[in-house]
Amino acid sequence: QFSNQKKIVLGVGVYEKTKGILNYLIRTDAIQVAIQYMGMAARGFPYMGVGRNLAYDKKLFFEIGGFKKHIDLKWGDDDLFINETARGKNTAICAIPNAQTVSLAKKSWMDWFIQKRRHISTSGRYRFSTKILLSLKPARLVIYYSMLIAGLFLPVLRSSFIASALIVYFAHAFIFIFLRNKIGKVQAFYLFPIIEIVLFVLNILIYLSVWINKPKNWN
């Protein structure tokens, strides 16, 4: 995917499938993250990448001083490098199954919790525009599920609740089927509405745990 214009290539990093609900959540979370950052990059708004599957031009790396700005961090320097340098004109994506990396998932809830905290802890150094962009999804979820709950208790909104739930469900189904054919390894879409809520709550808890013990690198 490299060319004279494309100096950064973002790929997909998935996790090996094993038994258990934790493994399912980890794999689904990874796919959600990939859909978001790969989708935004495809639309000309790259903002992050996963260190286990990205590439960048050596000249570009040294032109901006490499990881010098984040030399104080124990992790996340590669992700922040992408946030600083990746733009629509210089970034390409590579989503084909044969170009994916497969990593071993954490075996315990605490290990995964710590891993997610590390990822979130570096987001304080993202560009302001990226922070605004990333706030749209949780805001959408809060509004959407608030409306659904209201629809359950207000008869006048009940038909709208059912219609909205079905529209969102089948929209997700279509997207996941498309992605399954495009990149493979996408989790079963029929569980997505439930898993989305679970991951949303878990991510809020993890974010709050980071915020309470706010790292020095947060702006």
**Residue 52 main-chain phi, psi, to 5 deg:** -80, -5
What's the pTM value of the predicted model, to 2 decimals?
0.79
Query: Which contiguous run of DSSP H or E holds residue 169?
Result: helix 155-182
**How do the pLDDT tens digits run along the chain, 219 residues long?**
889 999 999 999 989 989 888 998 898 888 888 888 998 899 899 999 988 999 999 998 998 888 878 777 777 788 888 988 999 999 999 988 888 899 999 999 999 988 888 887 777 788 888 888 888 877 877 877 777 777 777 777 777 777 877 787 777 777 777 776 666 555 565 676 777 788 888 888 888 887 776 655 555
Q: Which one, of 129, 35, 45, lies nearest residue 88 by Cα? A: 45
Q: What is the per-residue pLDDT for 158?
A: 74
